[in-house]
Amino acid sequence: MNLSDHSLRRKDSIIASTTELGMKMTAHHVWQLSNRFPANLFNVYLVEDVLIDAATRWDASSLLKQLANIPLSQVALTHCHPDHQGAVKQICATRDIPLACPEADIASMEGRTPMLPRTAAIKIMQLGFAGPAYSVQRSLHDGDEIAGFRVIHTPGHTPGHVMYFRESDRVAIVGDVLRNNHPITGKIGLYEPPAVFTLDREENRRSIRKLAQLRPALVCFGHGPVLYDMEQLDRFVARLPS
């Protein structure tokens, strides 16, 4: 359970409860799986029966344990980076479910091209966290629908990066377009993804603006806690370099 009492009081229309498995509900049919200390380090969400992202290879057994007895139809990635694709192979193979991946990230997910950007930081991260290459069964495109969420292409961090947006209650699951903790100190707050892990910062800023223009009510990040304060997002976007 990592929603603060404060945020629960502020957003009482959103039910937060802890299951016996340690997952918590962040919005209707959206569950955040619990991860190892520190909280919100590598976030994984369950949307109906779809797993969004798969943390690192070290998280596979914990994720599988939390997902035991829970129906799963597929894993869908926001992008192909070591801290999002790490447990893909173990989860998909163990549960016998397909993998959906944004089209422009498929080659790196399948190990045919390197993960981007081709920086030393990504290579080190791969050594530490990445899971094996795995074949993609579904190619994701802008406008596709997954479990009631629309796929929105938000390139920049990687070429294929997507976020997932549900119009009915304006929930956004945004991967690494933006993060809600500092990558080194862990201090909670909005930050752009680190430059060393981002292919095109300018393009990613356009994707951040695309997120803000959707007027989300709640934002779920790849890193950091859920954000309910949309004025904070607007202030952040207003300060972004143009």
- Please, which residue, 34 or 85, has the CB nearer to Zn ion? 85
Footprint of Zn ion on 210-229 (CB under 5 A): 222
Number of residues that bind Zn ion (CB under 5 A): 3
Sign for the pseudo-dihedral over CA of 217, 64, 115, 102: negative
DSSP string, 124-188: HHHHHH-------SEEE-TT-EETTEEEEE--SSSSS-EEEEETTTTEEE-TTSSEEE-TTT--E
DSSP string, 82-95: HHHHTTHHHHHHHH
Of 108, 227, 95, which is closest to residue 157 (Cα–Cα)? 108
- Please, which residue, 15 or 121, has the CB nearer to Zn ion? 121
- Please, which residue, 160 or 222, has the CB nearer to Zn ion? 222
- CB of residue 196 to Zn ion, shortest distance in Å: 12
- CB of residue 130 to Zn ion, shortest distance in Å: 12
Q: Is residue 9 helix, strand or coil?
A: helix
Locate tokens 């074949």: which residue? 135
- CB of residue 175 to Zn ion, shortest distance in Å: 7
H-run or E-run covering 16: none
**192 contacts Zn ion (rule: CB under 5 A):** no
- Binding-residue pattern over the window 145 to 184 for Zn ion, x denoting contact by CB under 5 A: -------------------------------x--------
- Please, which residue, 222 or 224, has the CB nearer to Zn ion? 222
CA distance 189 to 78: 21
Of 84, 102, 199, 201, which is closest to residue 142 (Cα–Cα)? 102
Q: Which of 59, 83, 105, 144 binds Zn ion (CB under 5 A)?
A: 83
Footprint of Zn ion on 41-80 (CB under 5 A): none
- CB of residue 117 to Zn ion, shortest distance in Å: 13
- Please, which residue, 83 or 144, has the CB nearer to Zn ion? 83
Chain positions contacting Zn ion, by CB under 5 A? 83, 176, 222
